[in-house]
């Protein structure tokens, strides 16, 4: 039987994440598995120094992997789930969402400082309009600056003194063994993560029997419910990749069984205005819970906040 080919981006984080999935597939199915590196538009844009948030469409880290899946170069594609567009792709199934890593954002700052300990005027780097807006909203008096590059590049900018701190996803740092460099993990009350942050997406061709097998051995129902709710919030708010929108859902034990809790925020790019709401519901209706929450947010004014201005995109690039 031929090896299962797992498509991945070529970055250290992407290959590490894909190898975790590949190892689980090999262990669970008793099959040989190999990684196949695929270059994406997002990778090429970053290498050329092009601001990712100024790209013309969502999915720039995803489309090349999906093309490789559809034309048979790979059998499985592994993505950071927050990179997936919220609309479906013809011929492709989200076969599995493995258990999620901690979705919170993390700070890597000089001298072991937290955000609150940074002096006024400190330069804080982020590639995300969502993070930038929430940093502004905290009112700490720091200068928020766009930053590009991989994890090593961004942390090196702190070590060199170019930045006083950078904000990154804790999940990525955990997966590549860099948690010892984190100086603060941000409470979601301070900064809600991107929808799907910390989760992985395992995609297969819809007509491939492998999809059902991978769902059986890799999928985590609680993670899937949480992520479906978060992505429904994003889809209804029509945020796309560069929108300053955060969402976080959890499945918890309630008095009558499992309950889904969802929190979401939409902000103006400068963080001066925001709509923050929460909702609860049945995990079996995760998308419905997220959709209804976002609809309430739109009615409360989120429609005027969800999309950043062109000026804000020029200043801050999306991660």
Let me know: does 286 contact 228? Beta carbons within 8 Å.
yes
pTM: 0.88
Using the structure block, give the residue that is written with the tokens 């790979």.
74
Catalytic (active-site) positions: 83
- Spatial CB neighbours of 225, under 8 Å, sequence gap ≥ 6: 249, 251, 260, 283, 284, 286
Element (DSSP H or E) covering residue 174? helix 170-175
In 105-165, where does DSSP find H-type helix? Answer: 129-137, 151-159
- Spatial CB neighbours of 91, under 8 Å, sequence gap ≥ 6: 70, 205, 206, 207
Q: Exposed, middle or buried, 141 (CB in 10 Å: 0-12/13-18/19+)?
A: exposed
Let me know: does 146 contact 129? Beta carbons within 8 Å.
no
Domain boundary assignment for the chain: 4-98+199-219, 105-192, 227-308
Q: What is the pLDDT of residues 48-103, one digit of tens each?
A: 444 454 433 457 789 999 999 999 999 999 999 999 999 889 999 999 999 999 99
Provide the CATH topology of domain 105-192: D-Maltodextrin-Binding Protein; domain 2 (3.40.190)
Per-residue confidence (pLDDT) for residue 319, from 0 to 100:
37
| Domains 4-98+199-219 and 227-308 in one fold | no
- Reading the block at residue 139, the tokens are 């009112």
N- to C-terminal Cα separation, the chain:
39
Per-residue confidence (pLDDT) for residue 232, from 0 to 100:
97
Q: What is the pLDDT of residues 95-135, one digit of tens each?
A: 999 999 999 999 999 999 999 999 999 999 998 999 999 99
Distance separating alpha carbons of residues 241 and 128, to the nearest angstrom: 9
**Best CATH choice for the domain 4-98+199-219 from the list 3.30.420.40, 3.40.190.10, 3.30.310.50, 2.40.30.10:** 3.40.190.10
- The residue ranges of the chain whose pLDDT is under 70 are 40-58, 239-243, 306-319
Closest CA to 204 of 290, 98, 78, 304: 78
Per-residue confidence (pLDDT) for residue 41, from 0 to 100:
63
Closest CA to 224 of 174, 286, 280: 286
Q: Which residues pair with 36 in a beta bridge?
A: 7
φ/ψ of 2, rounded to 5, equals: -70, 160
Provide the CATH topology of domain 227-308: Double Stranded RNA Binding Domain (3.30.160)
Per-residue confidence (pLDDT) for residue 130, from 0 to 100:
94
Secondary structure of 297-314 as H, E, C letters: HHHCCHHHCCCCCHHHHH
Distance separating alpha carbons of residues 308 and 313, to the nearest angstrom: 7
């Amino acid at each position: 039987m031929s090896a299962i080919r797992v498509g991945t981006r070529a970055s250290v984080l992407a290959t590490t994440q894909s190898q975790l999935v590949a190892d689980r597939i090999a262990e669970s199915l008793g099959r040989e598995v190999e990684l196949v590196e695929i270059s994406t538009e997002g990778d090429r844009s970053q290498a050329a120094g092009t601001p990712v948030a100024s790209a013309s469409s969502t999915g720039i880290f995803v489309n090349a992997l999906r093309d490789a899946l559809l034309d048979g170069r790979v059998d499985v594609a592994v993505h950071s789930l927050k990179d997936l567009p919220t609309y479906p792709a013809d011929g492709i199934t989200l076969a599995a969402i493995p258990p999620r890593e901690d979705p919170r954002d993390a700070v890597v700052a000089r001298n072991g400082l937290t955000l609150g300990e940074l002096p006024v005027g400190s330069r804080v780097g982020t590639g995300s309009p969502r993070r930038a807006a929430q940093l502004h909203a905290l009112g700490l008096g720091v200068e928020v600056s766009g930053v590009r590059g991989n994890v090593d590049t961004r942390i090196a900018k702190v070590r060199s003194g170019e930045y006083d701190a950078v904000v990154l996803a804790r999940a990525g740092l955990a997966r590549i063994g860099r948690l010892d460099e984190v100086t603060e993990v941000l409470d979601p009350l301070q900064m809600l993560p991107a929808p799907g942050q910390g989760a992985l997406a395992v995609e297969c061709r819809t007509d491939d029997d492998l999809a059902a097998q991978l769902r059986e051995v890799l999928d985590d129902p609680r993670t899937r419910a949480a992520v479906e709710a978060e992505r429904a919030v994003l889809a209804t708010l029509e945020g796309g990749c560069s929108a300053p929108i955060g969402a976080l859902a959890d499945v918890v034990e309630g008095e009558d069984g499992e309950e889904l809790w969802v929190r979401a925020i939409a902000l103006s790019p400068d963080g001066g205005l925001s709509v923050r709401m929460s909702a609860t519901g049945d995990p079996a209706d995760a998308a419905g819970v997220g959709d209804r929450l976002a609809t309430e947010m739109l009615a409360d004014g989120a429609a005027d906040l969800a999309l950043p201005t062109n000026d804000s995109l020029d200043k801050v690039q999306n991660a």
